Structure formats: C-alpha cells, structure tokens
Amino acid sequence: MKNKGYIIATLAYSLAILALSLKPVSPVADEGILFEVFWNFMHAPVYAFLAFLILKSFTPSNVKIYVLAFFITVIYGILNELVQSFVPGRSPSLMDVGLNTIGAASVLTFIYSSKISY
C-alpha cells in the first residue's frame, strides 16, 4: 500500500457507489429510455475512477499491480450487482458488469500503456 489518502478515498468512493446501488427504485419514476441508457453507460466512468483510485492505493511497480487493481474493481462490481438483487425495484445486470469491466480495463490500460506519471 502506498498512500493512506488514496486508500481512504477508495473506501469512501466504494461506499458511495454502494449507497447509490442500495437506493430502491420507485416504480412510479419512469424517466424514459434515454435517462435509463445514460445511467447505464455511467457505469464505465464510475468504475474507471474506482480502478484509478485502487491503483493509486498501491505502488504500481509492475503489471501485477494493474491486474490486481482490475480484478478488485471487477469483483467489487459483481458483488455490487448481486447485492442489488435484494433491493426493491433493482436487479443485477450483466450489462452493468460489462460496463464496469470496460471502464476499469480502459483506464488501467491507458495508464499502463502511456506510462503517465499519475
């Protein structure tokens, strides 16, 4: 572990994602298909940022740390989707898991391949 500040930020951000995921969906609140599509695609940047925070929590010395950050992010996303099956009006979604995975893979690949000093 590298930076306590990033560890705390990662935990806080993870809890915020969980809190929003546990919010029941009102059956009356039908905002339309565009609203639903927008929120579905927001999974990618939300989980990209989570992967970034997880990566920053470690000392990225080699590719193993990037792989670890990827798997932690994806497993968190899967568990988060499973928890939603217990929330009224919510259900787990493979599309959401896929978008979470795309977000995490995208940011980690970008950082690793560009060797950005983040």
Q: What is the pLDDT of residues 60-93, one digit of tens each?
A: 678 899 999 999 999 999 999 999 999 988 888 9
Domain coordinates in residue numbering, the chain = 4-23+30-114
The amino acid that residue 96 corresponds to is: D
Q: Exposed (0-12), middle (13-18) or buried (19+): which is 68, by Cβ within 10 Å? A: middle
CB atoms under 10 Å from CB of 40, counted, come to 13
- Whole-model pTM? 0.85
Mean pLDDT check: name the lowest of 19-33, 65-79, 87-101.
19-33
Cα atoms in the Cβ-side hemisphere of radius 13 Å centred on 45: 4
First to last CA, the chain: 16
d(CA 37, CA 34): 5
